[in-house]
């Protein structure tokens, strides 16, 4: 990805031709087998996701940061992006114009998602229960050491150009040491038509140590505008069927929505 970014910094910048060449060199395709290309917007009124799936053409507005970050997400997470697109394309004909909860989940992950390789089950539990002080302050050193946040959502990346503590991601926890892109795509492939956004974990990324200089004090996490408390007791733990290639933490259900206002910003 750094090499790709260097190419985009070269004279000419992030043109459709350059982005398409990078996609071609990486062998990017949709799950329908179409070669991925980045093209100017068209007046076609058909669904954006269906056009991508059927033609491989990702409409990208010139000079638009949101669309550029979408292209970069395709280059960084090609399997996950292709799976999101394929699931959209499969659901759209069944919806009669009304987007269902599965596609809500797909949209939130696409626009505001993050993939988090993490083997610390206690950390995952605390985050799921919105107990922000514990993972981000009390266990600060333990949280800092093993945790990487891989931002998939292109709307979050755009918002990060003007950072503020309310930016939150919808996180998918996966096993470290394995391909996070492949794990996320496998998890998406395991979902049923009744899947909802509650399967993703709200994560205020500015709470992570070193993401914001201001979070070097405990009072930072008392601001309930950005670090909302859990609104009810967590559901009882229950057995979950693991899916091949998917981290155990990723499969644990979550029943609470976003902790802050950033879901609106990212979606």
Residues 6+ apart with CB under 8 A from 83: 31, 184, 185, 188, 189
Q: Is residue 254 a contact partner of residue 104, using CB atoms and an 8 Å limit? A: no
Angle subtended by helix axes 78-91 and 48-55, to nearest 10 = 120
Residue-wise pLDDT for 141-197, tens only, equals 888 766 789 999 999 999 989 888 889 999 999 999 999 999 999 999 999 989 999
Q: Is the pLDDT of residue 9 over 80?
A: no
Sequence-ordered list of residues with C-beta below 8 angstroms from that of 167, at least 6 positions apart, any chain: 156, 159, 160, 204, 205, 206, 262, 265, 266
Say if residues 160 and 69 touch (Cβ distance below 8 Å). no
Rounded to whole angstroms, the Cα distance separating 79 from 126 reads 29
Q: What are the tens digits of pLDDT across the range 13-38?
A: 789 999 999 999 999 999 999 999 99
Looking at residue 166, its pLDDT comes to: 87
Give pLDDT, residue 7: 75
* Domain ranges (residues) in the chain: 2-76, 103-266
Can you give the three-state secondary structure of 3-37, one letter per residue? Answer: HHHHHHHCCCCCCHHHHHHHHHHCCCECCCCCECE
CA distance 212 to 236: 34
The CB density around residue 189, as the number of other CB atoms within 10 Å, is 16
Helix axes 16-25, 2-9, angle to 10 degrees: 150
Give the model's confidence band at 260: pLDDT under 50 very low, under 70 low, under 90 confident, else very high: very low
């Amino acid at each position: 990805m750094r090499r790709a970014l260097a190419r985009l910094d070269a004279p000419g910048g992030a043109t459709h031709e350059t982005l398409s060449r990078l996609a071609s060199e990486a062998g990017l395709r949709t799950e329908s087998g179409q070669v991925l290309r980045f093209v100017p917007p068209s007046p076609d009124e058909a669904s954006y996701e269906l056009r991508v799936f059927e033609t491989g053409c990702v409409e990208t507005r010139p000079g638009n940061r949101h669309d550029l970050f979408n292209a970069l997400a395709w280059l960084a997470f090609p399997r996950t992006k292709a799976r999101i697109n394929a699931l959209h394309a499969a659901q759209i004909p069944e919806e009669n114009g009304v987007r269902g909860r599965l596609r809500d989940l797909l949209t939130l992950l696409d626009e505001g998602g993050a993939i988090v390789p993490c083997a610390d089950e206690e950390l995952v539990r605390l985050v799921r229960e919105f107990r922000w002080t514990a993972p981000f302050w009390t266990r600060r050193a333990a949280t800092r050491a093993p945790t990487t946040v891989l931002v998939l959502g292109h709307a979050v990346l755009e918002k990060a150009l003007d950072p503020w503590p309310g930016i939150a991601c919808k996180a998918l926890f996966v096993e470290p040491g394995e391909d996070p892109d492949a794990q996320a795509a496998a998890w998406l492939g395991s979902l049923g038509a009744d899947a909802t956004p509650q399967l993703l974990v709200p994560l205020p990324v500015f709470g992570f140590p070193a993401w914001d200089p201001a979070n070097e004090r405990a009072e930072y996490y008392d601001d309930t505008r950005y670090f909302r408390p859990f609104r009810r007791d967590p559901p009882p733990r229950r057995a979950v069927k693991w899916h091949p290639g998917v981290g155990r933490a990723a499969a644990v259900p979550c029943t609470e929505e976003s902790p802050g206002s950033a879901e609106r910003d990212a979606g």
